[in-house]
Amino acid sequence: MFELPGEAPARTLQGKVTLITGAAQGIGRAIAEAFAREGALLVLCDVQAEGAEVAKELGALFVYADIAQPYHRERFIREAHKQWGSIQVLVNNAAVSAPGSALKVRAEEWQHVLDVNLTAPMHLSALAAREMVKGGGGAIVNIASVQGLFAEQNNAAYTASKGGLVNLTRSLALDLAPMNIRVNAVAPGAIATAGLLEAIALSENPPQTRTDWEDLHALRRLGKPEEVAQAVLFLASDKASFITGAILPVDGGLTASFGMAGRPV
The per-residue pLDDT for 42 is 98
Residue 265 predicted with pLDDT over 60 = no
Please answer whether residues 30 and 225 qualify as being in contact, where contact means their C-beta atoms are separated by less than 8 angstroms: yes
The pLDDT tens digits for 87-139 are 999 999 999 999 999 999 999 999 999 999 999 999 999 999 999 999 999 99
Instruction: Give the N- to C-terminal CA distance of the chain in Å, as an integer.
Output: 45
CA distance 124 to 19: 10
Phi, psi values for residue 187, rounded to 5°: -125, 90
The per-residue pLDDT for 120 is 98
The model carries a pTM of 0.93
Q: What is the largest CA-CA distance in the chain?
A: 64
pLDDT more than 70, % of the chain: 94
* Catalytic positions, written as ranges: 158
Please answer whether residues 36 and 60 qualify as being in contact, where contact means their C-beta atoms are separated by less than 8 angstroms: yes
How far apart, in Å, are the Cα atoms of 88 and each of 80, 82, 182? 11, 14, 11
The pLDDT tens digits for 93-106 are 999 999 999 999 99
Please answer whether residues 105 and 156 qualify as being in contact, where contact means their C-beta atoms are separated by less than 8 angstroms: yes
What 8-state DSSP symbol labels residue 215?
T
How far apart, in Å, are the Cα atoms of 33 and each of 36, 172, 197? 5, 26, 21
The per-residue pLDDT for 6 is 54
Architecture of the domain spanning 17-191+225-256: 3-Layer(aba) Sandwich (3.40)
CA distance 63 to 46: 7
